Structure 1
Amino acid sequence: MARLTARHVETLPDGLHADGGNLYLLVKNEGRARSWVFRFQRDGKARQLGLGSIRDRSLKEARELAAKLRHALLNGEDPAGVFARLTGKAERVPTFAEAAARLIASKRPGWRNAKHAQQWENTLRDYVLPRIGKLQPQAIATEHVLACLRPIWTEKPETASRVRQRIEAVLDYCAAHGWRDEANPARWRGRLKMLLPEPAKVKRIEHMPALPYGRVAEFYRALTERPGAAARCLEFVLLTACRSGEARGATWREFDFEAGLWTIPGERMKAGKEHVIPLSAPVLALLKSLPRMEGSPYVFFAPRGGMLSDMTLTQTIRRMHADSLAAGGQGWIDPASDRVITAHGLRSTFRDWAGETTHHAREVIEHALAHQLHDKAEAAYARGALLAKRRALMEDWARFVTRPSAEVIPFPGAQTS
């Protein structure tokens, strides 16, 4: 068997590459993560021990360390304990909670916003740390992970899936630092998949309360009669079919009024990819009518110049609902769920209208919503941005939204029942 070279260490693709003498190079994440692994068998079980990153330990150093661990194994010693002594880690191995805090701190600069780090901390605090936070990483086994997951696996499937992924990431982090072996009890394939039902089979889909598109013109008129930045932001969300967070975070520099385009940078998009939205005439008129605050980059700003909160939009809709009921109206309820509509539900309103009443192609509609297309052929087609077709779609939507309520707008090739 050919041994690894310094060039191999830097260039080999993803996988586990043998050097001989129980030493392996583990390459993951398309070559971005490269670390040393000592593989051995003890008490009839195959085990892996992480020896650290290639940035922390050279090929020569990894071989020397592997030789000492192999010698210890032949003498009946546990390589994990010997490794801890040799590297000075025997005295203080962090608990799971401490390791999780270190991982979050190391990843925080690369995450798009502080909210992501907060979500990690909150889910671990609520569902994991009370059960395994004080345990040493090497002591955590499958039964410990299941104790964290089973109480929420069917009740909160989406949260449970994220919790599992985060436990797995923390334990991988521990293995990379030599605090436990490479076998990860939180891994799905080949481990928890055998013990828990598939997430997709227990996932309960809850749709955001949406406005029936037959009432969208009525809702638009109610918005235009309401003062305040939140009402203007909701008008914008309705007319562009964007997510509320994308609208609330919009800055003036993202708009090209001459071309009639709004370019949302990738770091503000759910999928992490830049998205361009053609602006209809009513949207352009709305934007040009808005006041600007000196020192604030936001199009829809809070009283002190910062970004509007999502709750501000929610409260505006709730007040509109209460006002409508007080005036003897129907209120703003999703008849399917009997719940007050939400800003995000306005995207569903757009999707239902476009799919059920117009001639516009499905891939054009999905691209307008910045949805990821599952079909590869469609996705390749969508990469062309379909800008002209999407502009026509958004102009049709704007005419439908801003029309007098009694007016019916026919569309060439519209679907009929």
Structure 2
Amino acid sequence: MGLTALEIKNAKPGMHADGGGLYLCVKDSGSKSWVFRFQLDGRRREMGLGSLKTLEPVKARAKAAVLKAKVAAGIDPLDERRAEKEAEREQRKRAEIARKREEVTFRKAAENLIESRKPSWTNPKHAQQWENTLATYAYPVIGDLPVANVTAEHIVEILKPIWSKKSETASRVRMRIENVLNAAKLMGWRSGENPAVYKGGLEAVLPPISKVKKVRHHPAMPFEDVPAFMAELKGRKGISARALEFSILTAARSGEARHAKWDEIDLDAGLWIVPADRMKARREHRVPLSKDAKTILKGMPRLANSPLVFPGQKGKPLSDMTLSAVLKRMDLGHYTVHGFRSTFRDWAAETTHHSSETVEMALAHTIANKVEAAYRRGDLLEKRRALMEDWARFLGEGGA
């Protein structure tokens, strides 16, 4: 016989056997609960069953009987309960993930990735380009779709209409979608393979970009024509003309020259140090200044309201279109400002004995070979100084 109702009511603090391994536990505070004690594999263990208030004696005894039978069968009820709770937690976790996946659309995942990458982009236009291409081509198809549900069929639907007609744009859209889906997987918003991968994926239905359209490089002026062009450019007045001339002389990217500041330049040392946050590779770049480049700088006025070497209106940086406009006014709008970097490389390769390593360093290109990059310590400054003087001498031949 188990404890009577009166014995349960009047039980003092301690453990009171009810039979079959069931005990009534009474705390000093007066609270009462049921405990099942058992022994399995030589270990004594006990398991709480619940409060007397929520579990009446009859149900507590029935529960203890079931547990006793499990112990007799070699089953540890504590391990079993722990496994059940873990399974419940896992089920809740899966349900929460599923719920979040339904909430996170492709558009939201893309916006999240763009926002997280903004600090690493040297050009603010990159974020706008991502937003515009995805809004134009991807969002109409998958923008409001849960990112977890994006499939290869969706990607093909987006890319197929523009794959041949706008191949460069299509390639960018595909890569951006691939990046968004990779990030979404990392965040736990989707699982499985990335359907936007080309190699081993979309290549089964979309031909290589190289076969549907030739790669367009920045139109570059033949190096033989540049000296005459530079002679004409020198005769033009205006800050934008000087900025373009300086950019060509230093083989710098347009943005690096347009945003150049006086505190980056040491005329005595003939050195311009472009900070890492303005470089494409995010590394500080030292540019040796030729005599002609220094002559341009010495002729530039220093404005009190702007730290820029080539200030635009209200002391703000010139726009890239401003430099392109100089070429258009010279009836050379079919060339690009960036193309002069290719011109510089062609000239160096075909007419000089300067090493390709020195030329690539002058262009601030990153080293593709990671092992080589790890062992390279210097930046070949003096070799590049000689290279840039040769380049300036060649450019000045048009005025001779």
TM over 0.5: yes
Rounded to whole Å, the distance in 2 between the matches of 1:359 and 1:292 is 38
1:308, distance to aligned residue in structure 2 (A): 0.3
Alignment CA distance shift 1:234-1:66 (3 Å) = farther
Aligned equivalent of 1:391, options 367, 385, 392: 385
Q: 1:380 and 1:164, CA in 2 relative to 1: closer, same or farther beyond 3 A? A: same
The one-letter amino acid paired with 1:398 is A
Is 1:252 paired with 2:272? Answer: no
Structure 1 CA distance for aligned equivalents of residues 137 and 85 of structure 2:
38
The separation in 1 between residues aligned to 2:172 and 2:319, in whole angstroms, is 25
Give the deviation of 1:376 after TM superposition: 6.3
How many residues align? The count is 318
Q: Deviations for 1:290-335, whole angstroms, at most 9, x for unmatched residues? A: 01222312111102111101111111111122xxxxxxxxxx4xxx
State the partner residue of 1:348. 342
Q: Aligned to 1:225, which of 235, 259, 265?
A: 235
- Deviation string for 1:53-92 (max 9, x for gaps)? xxxxxxxxxx99973376x5xxxxxxxxx64644693696
1:151 CA drift (Å): 2.4
C-alpha distance in structure 2 between counterparts of 1:64 and 1:292, whole Å: 75
> TM-score scaled by structure 1?
0.68
After TM superposition, the structure 1 = structure 2 runs for residues 82-161 of structure 1, keeping only pairs within 5 Å, are 83=93, 85-86=95-96, 89=99, 93-161=103-171
1:365 alignment partner in structure 2: 359
State the alpha-carbon separation in 2 of the partners of residues 344 and 112 from structure 1. 16
Aligned residue for 1:263, secondary structure, equals strand
* Among candidates 320, 328, 352, match of residue 318 of structure 1: 328
Aligned mates of 1:288, 1:387 — CA distance in 2 = 22
Q: How far 1:252 moved relative to its partner?
A: 1.3
For residues 174 and 348 of structure 2, what CA distance do their matches in structure 1 show? 38
> What's the counterpart of residue 294 of structure 1?
304
1:185–1:380: structure 2 CA closer, same or farther, 3 Å change rule? Answer: closer
Q: Indicate if the aligned counterparts of 1:367 and 1:382 stay in contact, CA closer than 8 A.
A: no
Deviates more, 1:196-205 or 1:339-348: 196-205
Paired residues of 2:102 and 2:146 also in contact (CA < 8 A)? no
Corresponding residue number in structure 2 for 1:167: 177
Moved more, 355-364 or 171-180: 171-180
Greater helix fraction, Structure 1 or Structure 2? 2
Task: Mark the structure with the bigger radius of gyration.
Answer: 2
Q: Give 1:192's match in structure 2, choosing from 202, 209, 214.
A: 202
Alignment CA distance shift 1:262-1:203 (3 Å): farther
User: In 2 relative to 1, CA 201–297 (structure 1 residues): closer, same or farther, beyond 3 Å?
Assistant: farther
Please report how far the alpha carbon of residue 210 of structure 1 lies from its aligned counterpart in structure 2 after TM superposition.
Answer: 2.5
Amino acid at match of 1:387: L
* RMSD across aligned positions (CA): 3.0
Consecutive unaligned residues in structure 1, runs of 5 or more:
1-62, 73-81, 322-331, 333-338, 408-417
Residue 251 to residue 173, structure 1, CA distance change in 2 (3 Å): same
Shift of 1:169: 3.0
Pair 89,350 (structure 1): closer, same or farther in 2 beyond 3 Å: same
Residue aligning to 2:253 = 243
Question: CA separation in 2, counterparts of 1:113 and 1:204?
Answer: 26
Partner secondary structure for residue 262 of structure 1: strand
Q: 2:302 and 2:84 mapped to 1: Cα distance?
A: 65
Q: Structure 1 residues 211, 166: CA separation in 2 closer, same or farther (over 3 Å shift)?
A: closer
Cα deviation digits, residues 236-294 of structure 1 (max 9, x gap): 01211111111111111211222211111222122222221110111111111101222
Letter in 2 for 1:114: P
**Structure 1 residues 299 and 66, CA gap change in structure 2 (3 angstroms):** farther
- In the alignment, is the contact (CA less than 8 A) between 1:249 and 1:307 conserved in 2? yes
Which whole-Å deviations, capped at 9, do the CAs of 1:333-356 have from their partners, x for residues lacking one? xxxxxx632222222222222221
- CA–CA distance in 1 between the matches of 2:125 and 2:172? 15
1:306 and 2:316 matched: yes
Residue of structure 2 equivalent to 1:10: none
Are the aligned partners of 1:220 and 1:402 in contact in 2 as well (CA < 8 Å)? yes
Moved more, 147-156 or 248-257: 147-156
Q: In 1, are the aligned partners of 2:100 and 2:189 still within 8 Å (CA)?
A: no
Distance 1:180 1:403, change over 3 A: closer
Separation in structure 2 between the aligned mates of residue 91 and residue 155 of structure 1, nearest angstrom: 34
**1:191-236 deviations in Å (ceiling 9; x for gaps):** 3344434455556322323223233222222112111110000110
TM-score (norm 2): 0.70
- Aligned counterparts of 1:158 and 1:66: Cα–Cα separation in 2: 50
Contact 2:252 2:363 in 1 (8 A): yes
1:266-281 map, 5 Å:
266-281=276-291
Percent identical among aligned pairs is: 50
Question: Retained in 2: the 8 A contact 1:95–1:135?
Answer: yes
Q: Do the aligned partners of 2:122 and 2:279 also contact (CA within 8 Å) in 1?
A: no
Quote the Cα distance in structure 1 between the aligned partners of 2:243 and 2:280: 19
Give the whole-Å Cα distance in 2 for the aligned partners of 1:68 and 1:175.
24
- SS of corresponding position for 1:128: helix
Instruction: State the alpha-carbon separation in 2 of the partners of residues 351 and 90 from structure 1.
Output: 51
Unaligned runs of 5+ in 2: 1-82
**How many Å separate the matches in 2 of 1:213 and 1:384?**
29
8 Å contact kept, 1:93–1:179: no
Partner-residue secondary structure (3-state), 2:272: strand
Query: Match for residue 216 of structure 1?
Result: 226
In 2: Cα distance, 1:313 partner to 1:249 partner: 13
1:5: which partner in 2? none
